[in-house]
Amino acid sequence: MQMFWRIATTVSIVASVVSASITSLAGSVPAWPQWGQNPQHSGTAVAAGQDLNRILADLTFDPFVPQEIKAPCNFCTHYQAPLIDGRDVFMEFKTGTYSGEQGWNTQIWNEKRLRWQDGRLVEQWNYITDWKPDPNPFSVGLSPTERWGLSGWEPVFHAVLAGPFIYVPGASGAVWKLNKENGSILGRLTPFSNGADFDPNTFVAGPLAADAAGNIYYNALKFDPADPYGASGTDIAGAWLVRIGADGSARSVEYRTLVPDAPTMCTTTFSLGQLPWPPSPTATPPRGACGSQRPGINVAPAIAPDGTIYTVSRAHLRTRYSYMVALTADLRPQWHTSLRDFLNDGCNVLLPPNGTPGGCTEGATTGVDPATNERPAGRVIDQSSSSPSIAPDGSILYGSYSRYNFARGHLWKFSPSDGHIVATYDFGWDQTPAVFGHDGTYSIVVKDNHYDAGSYCNDKKFCPVAPAGPYYITRLDANLSPEWKFQNTNTFSCGFDNFGHLKCRDDHPGGFEWCINAPAVDPNGVVYANSEDGNLYAINPDGTLKQSKFLRLALGAAYTPLALGDDGKIYTENFGDLFVVGN
């Protein structure tokens, strides 16, 4: 039976474990301990990747994929990155039952420790968590253009390794601290008290992150169960950035205090009955309550080497009012930067000419977002898993959403000194970029998909659907200018039949989307990414194909991360299976 301990009890227990264990593990640094590999989320591996010659292991961690594919959102699932520590692999495994997108809580999330033994991954222990995902109600908001809530996108469950421990998300905004060797419980850690530490409406939202000293950071959200995402105008009940100290102490800061000058009334959007947008060159959309600031649901805070914490915040009711936020290591606000009033690439720029199919209304002001007739805004939305990453010069990178540019979003680069915006790139949807340092500078690796979507709306009369593709992995320089683009040119959907024979059909003339949400790059600059065509790709530092390996099935895949071990094995995911690929 799992025991629940309060913080005071936990600290004393943890202290004895640290003193007994830390010496034997001194100098042992896991190859891939968290989202994005390190506290900066740069996705840089510690060892060169092996050749993609063989599938060394194949284990099912999500048995519900056949049902998830049939759900209305069609396999809209985010997964944990495999956590690699020498011969050990820590990974989420789902059990329970799947009862649809409105019944995620019937699933059970487990964290397993696996170990390589005689060429096989063998289970060492399994921890059954009490974590449940944030709610996914039928109602998603007041406006179909705002993208409130999850809309069928299952949130990510994500543990983190720190020293001799593994921290696992739990219920009610708490975190479980386990001995990573045997899975034993060392404590239940939470900053909440007075009964709030067992509140079923409070959730650990997004991956846990760890700094170099073993402190853990994560986001927690409390929802109104009757109206979690503000369909009736209800504000968020609570939102916190939490810090669990390496000594077991816990503290938090409310997101509403991180952006104290956030507006209370916000611009909304024009109605669908007013298409094409903007209704006129001088039209003004209505205004409504913004709601309090809170994080996106799947955001992992990034921690710089000097201890500065970076996260993103958005208004609960208006996704176009979002911010990059910097805090000190003890959770004191440093600066915040709005993602509004910088972009100017909407009508007549990234969109077809005004008055033409897919373009804004005749005479619209060049550069505005047609949905608001204002300068476009970067948006932090709950369906994304985009998280900040930090470059070697301290710059912060973040991928935001925007609908008006064929749903491609933008990548943003911020100065660490004061948060001013340095540069942007025209793709950012659901990605945490990888960063590769070389030759006294660095490069940034991103997916770069061109979706088969309408330009700024879903009405085919006004926004005809663009052709699918091209789909690229793009390497940018430090100024966010492309160095090269690797295009997925495969047009064949493949899968294995019941007899193990590979069957393919030529049905994707535009290629396949890169479904990676956090690519990886090894010390030689080789990039690793998986695609919806069912292949794992290794891309040379000059942007040419090094190798690819087919895994199991081409499908509209979940957004999945991957990881590399200290021996160069590549751990990736396809169809709810964990695949290990190498020599």
Contact partners, residue 339, CB within 8 Å, separation at least 6: 322, 323, 324, 377, 378, 379, 380, 400, 412
pTM: 0.94
CA distance 206 to 122: 28
Residue 399 has pLDDT above 80, yes or no: yes
Residues 311-332 have pLDDT tens digits of 999 999 999 999 999 999 999 9
Residue 272 has pLDDT above 50, yes or no: yes
In the structure, what pLDDT confidence band is assigned to residue 6 with cuts at 50, 70 and 90?
Answer: very low
Residues 54-107 have pLDDT tens digits of 999 999 999 999 999 999 998 999 999 999 999 999 999 999 999 999 889 999
* pLDDT value for 559: 85
* pLDDT value for 359: 98
CA distance 495 to 557: 13
In the structure, what pLDDT confidence band is assigned to residue 139 with cuts at 50, 70 and 90?
Answer: low
Which tokens is 478 given? 């430090």
Residue 1 has pLDDT above 80, yes or no: no
Residues 412-470 have pLDDT tens digits of 999 999 999 999 999 999 999 999 999 999 999 999 999 999 999 999 999 999 999 99
Residues 241-253 have pLDDT tens digits of 999 999 999 999 9
* pLDDT value for 556: 78
CA distance 503 to 216: 46
Which tokens is 415 given? 């100065």
Strands (E), 129-181: 160-162, 165-169, 175-179
Q: Which fold has domain 7-582?
A: Methylamine Dehydrogenase; Chain H (2.130.10)
Residues 169-183 have pLDDT tens digits of 999 999 999 999 999
Above pLDDT 70, what percent of the chain? Answer: 93
In the structure, what pLDDT confidence band is assigned to residue 15 with cuts at 50, 70 and 90?
Answer: very low
Domain boundaries, the chain: 7-582
Residue 217 has pLDDT above 70, yes or no: yes
* pLDDT value for 412: 98
3-state secondary structure 514-554: ECEEECEECCCCCEEEEECCCEEEEECCCCCEEEEEECCEC
CB burial of residue 294 (10 Å; 0-12, 13-18, 19+)? buried
Contact partners, residue 181, CB within 8 Å, separation at least 6: 164
Residue 364 has pLDDT above 90, yes or no: yes
Look at 5-14, 331-340, 377-386, 564-573 and tell me which has the smallest mean pLDDT. Answer: 5-14
* pLDDT value for 231: 87
In the structure, what pLDDT confidence band is assigned to residue 4 with cuts at 50, 70 and 90?
Answer: very low
- Asked if 126 and 215 count as a contact pair (C-beta separation under 8 A), the reply is no
